[in-house]
């Protein structure tokens, strides 16, 4: 199992600057506090909604067969898109200098030492050119999911903007919109404070107002928030 990221986000994942990612909710998916699909299926038959406390969500299932898509406590390979349809490649990196590359480019970026030809070549013995040559320190980049929840895209907090690896909310929203609408020229993210009059105190109080316009239409989809940490 793997999670795909854009190449410019990989350094932030490796450094720990990025520890959160948002993915669009798709039709037929279920966010559940039960990690067992048998319990989810039994609960649905009994008229019990499988998610009791959203902050305790343990797994996202997809399809009628309830195939686990993401699960708290499970680790996933970090991949990048090859730019050819749904094809993607795993990422390898050096733990010292944080250099990274796609798996099929390891021999171009690191000193590859195959341990045994009879096993087809063991990629566990790779030396980085930065001099950090202890065996096993160049390794696949993997992350472990620590929490899952569901929310609206525009509900992202400023703290989560930083966890996503961005400086401002507008910057993050524009980036996300450009991923899903690469051919749309007019993408406007508005994030500002407005002074509104409180009906209770009759005083002006600051209120945040966010909007994301795609060709003039509001866009605020449901997203899964996946919190993660890099596997050491």
Average pLDDT over residues 67-89: 83
**Does pLDDT of 163 surpass 90?**
yes
Domain ranges of the chain: 2-105+135-152+224-230, 169-221
Query: What is the pLDDT at residue 78?
Result: 93
pLDDT by residue (tens digit) across 123-139? Answer: 445 667 675 445 446 78
Average pLDDT over residues 66-75: 86
Distance (Å, rounded) from C-alpha 6 to C-alpha 9? 6
- Three-state DSSP state, 193: strand
pLDDT by residue (tens digit) across 189-198? Answer: 887 655 555 4
**Closest residue by Cα to residue 19 from 143, 152, 121:** 143
**Does pLDDT of 70 surpass 80?**
yes
Label each residue of 33-102 as H, E or C.
Answer: CCCCHHHHHHHHHCCCCCCCCHHHCCEEEECCCCEEEEECCCEEEEEEECCCCCCEEEEEEECCCCCEEE
Average pLDDT over residues 56-73: 78
**Closest residue by Cα to residue 23 from 58, 60, 56:** 60
Query: What is the pLDDT at residue 126?
Result: 64
Average pLDDT over residues 48-73: 68
- Three-state DSSP state, 16: coil
Instruction: Please calculate the CA angle 191-193-197 and round it to the nearest 5 degrees.
Output: 140
Query: What is the pLDDT at residue 40?
Result: 55
pTM over 0.75: yes
Query: What is the pLDDT at residue 88?
Result: 83
Query: What is the pLDDT at residue 185?
Result: 83
Contact 6, 80 (CB under 8 A): yes
Distance (Å, rounded) from C-alpha 124 to C-alpha 114? 8
Residues β-bridged to residue 145: 228
- Three-state DSSP state, 99: coil
pLDDT by residue (tens digit) across 147-158? Answer: 998 999 999 998
Banded model confidence at residue 104, pLDDT cuts 50, 70, 90: confident
Average pLDDT over residues 205-230: 85
Q: Mean pLDDT lowest for which of 1-5, 46-50, 175-179?
A: 46-50
Query: What is the pLDDT at residue 201?
Result: 52
Query: What is the pLDDT at residue 210?
Result: 79
């Amino acid at each position: 199992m793997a999670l795909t990221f854009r190449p410019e986000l990989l350094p932030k994942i490796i450094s720990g600057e990025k520890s959160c990612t948002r993915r669009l909710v798709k039709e037929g998916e279920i966010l559940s506090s039960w990690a067992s699909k048998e319990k989810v299926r039994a609960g649905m038959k009994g008229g019990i909604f499988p998610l009791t406390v959203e902050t305790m969500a343990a797994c996202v299932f997809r399809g009628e067969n309830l195939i686990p898509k993401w699960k708290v406590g499970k680790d996933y390979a970090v991949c990048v898109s090859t730019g050819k349809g749904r094809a993607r490649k795993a990422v390898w990196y050096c733990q010292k200098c944080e250099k990274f590359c796609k798996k099929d480019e390891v021999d171009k970026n690191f000193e590859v030492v195959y341990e045994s030809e009879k096993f087809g070549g063991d990629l566990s013995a790779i030396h980085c050119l930065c001099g950090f040559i202890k065996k096993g320190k160049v390794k696949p980049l993997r992350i472990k999911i620590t929490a899952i929840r569901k929310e609206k895209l525009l509900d992202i907090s400023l703290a989560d903007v930083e966890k996503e690896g961005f400086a401002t909310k507008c910057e993050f929203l524009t980036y996300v919109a450009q991923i899903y609408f690469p051919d749309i020229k007019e993408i406007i993210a508005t994030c500002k404070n407005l002074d509104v009059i409180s009906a209770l105190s009759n005083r002006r109080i600051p209120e945040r107002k966010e909007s994301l316009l795609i060709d003039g239409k509001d866009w605020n989809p449901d997203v899964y928030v996946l919190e993660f940490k890099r596997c050491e």
